[in-house]
Amino acid sequence: MAEEDDSQVTTVPAEVAPEETQEPREGKNKNLKARLTELEEAAKAEKARAEDVFKRLQYLQADFENYRRRTEKDLSDARRFGNERLLSDLLVVNDEMELALEKARESGENPVFLEGVEMVLKRISGILAKEGVERIPGVGTLYTPELQEAALKAPSEEEDGTIIEEIRRGYTLKGRVLRPSIVKVAEKAPSEEVSREESEK
């Protein structure tokens, strides 16, 4: 008998079936649903937070736009009305020069002196006009509280509220009152019939 060679015979081990270590499907689904719910709530919270931040940004942007407009307006006004105090002081000088010229004419001053004062007055008026200073209409116009201050009321045949005398001239600077006029305003005199009725009583 022939000897069999054991060395060449190899045995293949049978595959071992893996043991089931996974959770049942129901438990897995519950965990997934819980995680999904948790993520949805987190997403809602983040969405609400994002909307809040967005609203804040919109408010900040609106505030910044308002600030920018206000700053531009302030700068524009500063450029436009920056000389207001200086021009007010120049109006006082203008008034004094007009008064000096009037008194010099009344007293019969030297014509050369009068001519010099007129030249200075004309120069001051030119500067005021160049800067946008305009005279407020006076005698013969109706009293306007925004432009004039009524110092006195006097009986007159003029329409009630008409300016009958200008005590101090008023001026505007580019449409804004620089110095209001001081005026005397007409007041209707009571008619003779009314005064007779009162005297009879």
pLDDT digits (tens, 9 = 90+) for 133-192: 888 888 888 888 888 888 888 887 777 888 888 888 888 888 888 888 888 888 876 664
CB 132 within 8 A of CB 177: no
Q: Which tokens is 64 given?
A: 């910044």
Mean pLDDT along residues 50-64: 91
- 3-state SS, one letter per residue, for the chain: CCCCCHHHCCCCCCCCCCCCCCCCHHHHHHHHHHHHHHHHHHHHHHHHHHHHHHHHHHHHHHHHHHHHHHHHHHHHHHHHHCCHHHHHHHHHHHHHHHHHHHHHHHCCCCHHHHHHHHHHHHHHHHHHHHCCEEECCCCCCECCCCCEEEEEEEEECCCCCEEEEEEECCEEECCEEEECEEEEEEEECCCHHHHHHHHHC
Q: Looking at per-residue confidence, does 18 or 52 come out higher?
A: 52
* pLDDT of the residue at 158: 78
170: how many CB neighbours lie within 10 A of its CB? 22
* pLDDT of the residue at 2: 46
Q: Is the pLDDT of residue 114 over 60?
A: yes
Mean pLDDT along residues 73-94: 83
pLDDT digits (tens, 9 = 90+) for 14-45: 554 444 444 567 767 778 888 888 889 989 99
Task: For the full predicted model, state whether its pTM sits above 0.85.
Answer: no
The C-alpha atoms of residue 34 and residue 26 are separated, in whole angstroms, by: 12
CB 161 within 8 A of CB 143: yes
* Portion of the chain with pLDDT greater than 70, in percent: 80
CB 138 within 8 A of CB 162: no
Q: Is the pLDDT of residue 1 over 50?
A: no
The C-alpha atoms of residue 22 and residue 11 are separated, in whole angstroms, by: 32
* pLDDT of the residue at 189: 67
